[in-house]
Amino acid sequence: MKKFLSKTGLGVAAVFTAAALAMTGCGGGDNGGGTDGGGKDAAGLSFDVAKDVALTGSPTFDKIKSSGQIRIGVKEDQPGLGFLDAATGERSGFDIEIARWMAASLGVAADKIEYKSIPSANRETALANGDVDLYVGTYSITDKRKKLVDFAGPYFITGQGLLVAKDNTDIKSEKDLDGKKVCSATGSTPIQNIRENFPKAVPVEFDIYSKCVDALKGGTVDAVTTDQAILLGFASQDPDNLKVVGEPFTVEKYGIGVPLGDTALRTFLNTTLTDGGATWTKIYDATLGKSGTKVEQPKVDQY
Ligand code: GLU
How much is the pLDDT for 302?
85
> Rounded distance, CA 247 to CA 173, Å?
7
* DSSP 8-state secondary structure symbol assigned to residue 258: E
Q: What is the distance in A from the centroid of ligand 1 to the CA of 282?
A: 24
Closest ligand 1 atom to residue 187 Cα is 10
Is the predicted pLDDT of residue 8 greater than 50, yes or no?
no
How much is the pLDDT for 288?
94
Q: What is the distance in A from the centroid of ligand 1 to the CA of 52?
A: 34
Q: Which residues of 238-247 are buried (b: 16+ CB within 10 A; e: fewer)?
A: eeeebbbbbb
Q: What is the pLDDT of residues 57-77, one digit of tens each?
A: 999 999 999 999 999 999 999
Is the predicted pLDDT of residue 155 greater than 80, yes or no?
yes
Q: Are 229 and 242 in contact (CB under 8 A)?
A: no
Q: What is the pLDDT of residues 180-228, one digit of tens each?
A: 999 999 999 999 999 999 999 999 999 999 999 999 999 999 999 999 9
Q: Are 111 and 50 in contact (CB under 8 A)?
A: no
Q: What is the pLDDT of residues 24-57, one digit of tens each?
A: 333 333 333 346 766 677 788 999 999 999 899 9
The helix (run of H) or strand (run of E) holding residue 182 is strand 181-185
How much is the pLDDT for 39?
66
* DSSP 8-state secondary structure symbol assigned to residue 43: T
Is the predicted pLDDT of residue 2 greater than 60, yes or no?
no
Q: Ligand 1 within 6 A of 188 CB?
A: yes
Q: What is the distance in A from the centroid of ligand 1 to the CA of 230?
A: 9
Q: Ligand 1 within 6 A of 138 CB?
A: yes
Mean pLDDT over the full length of the chain: 89
Pick the residue with more confidence: 30 or 156? 156
**Is the sign of the CA dihedral 114, 44, 254, 235 positive or negative?**
negative
> Rounded distance, CA 145 to CA 211, Å?
24
pLDDT grade, residue 133 (50/70/90)?
Answer: very high
* Cα–Cα separations (whole angstroms), residue 59 to 100, 133, 246: 20, 10, 44
Q: Ligand 1 within 6 A of 36 CB?
A: no
Closest ligand 1 atom to residue 189 Cα is 10
Q: What is the distance in A from the centroid of ligand 1 to the CA of 203?
A: 16
**Is the sign of the CA dihedral 114, 102, 28, 230 positive or negative?**
positive
pLDDT average, residue stretch 117-128: 98
Question: DSSP characters for 135-181?
Answer: E-SS-B--TTGGGTEEEEEEEEEE-EEEEEETT--S-SSGGG-TT-E
Looking at the DSSP bridge assignments, the partners of residue 82 are 78
pLDDT grade, residue 293 (50/70/90)?
Answer: confident
Q: What is the distance in A from the centroid of ligand 1 to the CA of 158?
A: 10
Q: What is the distance in A from the centroid of ligand 1 to the CA of 267?
A: 23
Q: What is the distance in A from the centroid of ligand 1 to the CA of 36?
A: 29
Is the predicted pLDDT of residue 22 greater than 60, yes or no?
no
How much is the pLDDT for 170?
96
Is the predicted pLDDT of residue 6 greater than 70, yes or no?
no
Q: Ligand 1 within 6 A of 209 CB?
A: no
Q: What is the pLDDT of residues 236-268, one digit of tens each?
A: 999 999 999 999 999 999 999 999 999 999 999
Q: Ligand 1 within 6 A of 140 CB?
A: yes
* DSSP 8-state secondary structure symbol assigned to residue 81: T
Is the predicted pLDDT of residue 292 greater than 80, yes or no?
no
Q: Ligand 1 within 6 A of 77 CB?
A: no
Tell the burial category of 40 from Cβ atoms under 10 Å away from its Cβ (0-12, 13-18, 19+).
middle
- Quote the percentage of the chain above a pLDDT of 70: 87
